[in-house]
Amino acid sequence: MSKRTFREIRNKVLKELKDVKKCSYGYLERKVNTNWQTIRDHIENLRFFGAVEISGGKINITDFGIRIKNVLI
């Protein structure tokens, strides 16, 4: 089995955030089936572009993030 690409992991993260709206790093780690460092790196990348917000240890998807996910599907 080959490694998943950056794009595949990012799409799974966005899909989970779109379904749940607000969740923790641990929740994403279990749902996306990858380690916390990878989740952290992807969330920081998405936060840089304004697709997610982090408040109180919880990750929220923004309206812009939902539009990005709809385009990527």
Model confidence, pTM? 0.86
**Which token pair is 41?**
């790196």
The pLDDT, as a whole number, for residue 71 is 85
CB atoms inside a 10 Å sphere around CB 68: 19
Q: Which residues pair with 54 in a beta bridge?
A: 59
Domain topology for 6-72: Arc Repressor Mutant, subunit A (1.10.10)
Contact between 8 and 42 (Cβ < 8 Å)? no
The pLDDT, as a whole number, for residue 72 is 76
User: pLDDT 10s per residue in the chain (73 long)?
Assistant: 688 898 899 999 999 998 887 899 999 999 999 999 999 999 999 999 999 999 988 999 999 988 988 887 6
Residues with Cβ within 8 Å of 19's Cβ and at least 6 positions away in sequence, in order, are none
